[in-house]
Amino acid sequence: MIQILLVDDHPSVGEGTKSMIEQDVEMQVTVVTSSMEALELINNQTFDVLMFDLNMPVINGLELTRRVITTNSDTPIIIYSGYDIAPHFNVLVESRVAGFVSKTASREQLITAIRCALHGEAVIPVSLLHQLRRNDARVAASVNEEIKGISIDEREQAILREVSKGKGNREIADILLISQRTVEYNLTRIFGKLNVRSRAEAIVEAKRLGLIPSEDFI
């Protein structure tokens, strides 16, 4: 029997997902609604696959992944989220997650993702692949600018993109799963690199330099 731990702070989502997965007679799902419950269970029970919601209170899915990896590095972790994970992709990969599944996925997609994780493989949604291709273009742009003396790293690019969409510092921090202080620190660095004094000037200069594409602007 394949033992799966699903962590989701919405009980109805957790139970619905459990019901879908357990239509496969080889799979059994344990559902908990908080990361603290999950950590306690993981310390006392063995699971074959772990599925974490990304946006949870107190300890989010990313931080939970980091904590679990330190003691259960061989257990595959799948991020199960209803939100766009593209802004978090790099940091999630660095945290060594095994894959991503949308909460809108069908039963077949859920089962496929779980079985792939068990075999050391991952299924990535096509929409995410398209988003990553655009991110690659942005990274290439940053490399070109570095040659010209302006070095903008990926985090600074991500912050610039959210600023261009009119997001405030608190919103950006929530979206990128970083602290508000980190956002403010990086904005100060960006202003210095671009030689600007305001968010509006930073957006105009970033657009002129090609650091973020035109479609990112509101």
Residues 35 and 116 in one domain: yes
118 and 184 in a single domain? The answer is: no
The verdict on residue 116 lying in a domain is: yes
pLDDT reading at 145 higher than 60 = no
Predicted pLDDT at 114: 93
Segments forming the whole domain that contains residue 40: 2-135
Residue 101 lies in a domain: yes
Residues 122 and 14 in one domain: yes
99-102, strands of its sheet edge to edge = 27-32, 2-7, 49-52, 77-81, 99-102
Residues 123, 84, single domain; the answer is: yes
Last-in-domain residue among 135, 169, 190: 135
pLDDT, residue 126, reads: 66
How many structural domains comprise the chain? 2
Closest C-alpha among 14, 165, 163, 175 to residue 83: 175
Q: Which of 29, 32, 41 is nearest to 7 (CA)?
A: 32
Interatomic CA distance for residues 50 and 83, integer angstroms: 18
pTM over 0.75: no
Asked whether residue 201 is assigned to any structural domain, the reply reads yes
Q: How far apart are CA 35 and CA 5, in angstroms?
A: 11
Residue 25 shares a structural domain with residue 131: yes
The pair of structure tokens assigned to 76 is: 């595959």
Write the pLDDT tens digit of every residue in 22-68: 999 999 999 999 999 999 999 999 999 999 998 888 888 888 988 89
The CATH number of the domain holding residue 193 is 1.10.10.10
Does 99 share its domain with 129?
Answer: yes
99 and 187 share one domain: no
Residues 109 and 198 in one domain: no
The residues, any chain, with a CB within 8 Å of residue 48's CB and separated by 6 or more, are 2, 3, 4, 75, 76, 118
Task: Give the residue, 122 or 160, on which the prediction is more confident.
Answer: 160
What digits encode the pLDDT tens for the residues 174-195?
A: 888 888 888 998 899 888 888 8
Does a structural domain hold residue 20? Answer: yes
Does 159 score more than 70 pLDDT?
yes
Q: What is the CATH number of the domain that holds 49?
A: 3.40.50.2300
- Are residues 73 and 25 part of one domain? yes
Q: Which of 7-16, 132-141, 199-208 has the lowest mean pLDDT?
A: 132-141
Question: Does 111 share its domain with 159?
Answer: no
How far apart CA 169 and CA 174 sit, in angstroms, is: 9
**Residue 50 counted as domain residue:** yes
Is the same domain home to 173 and 129? no
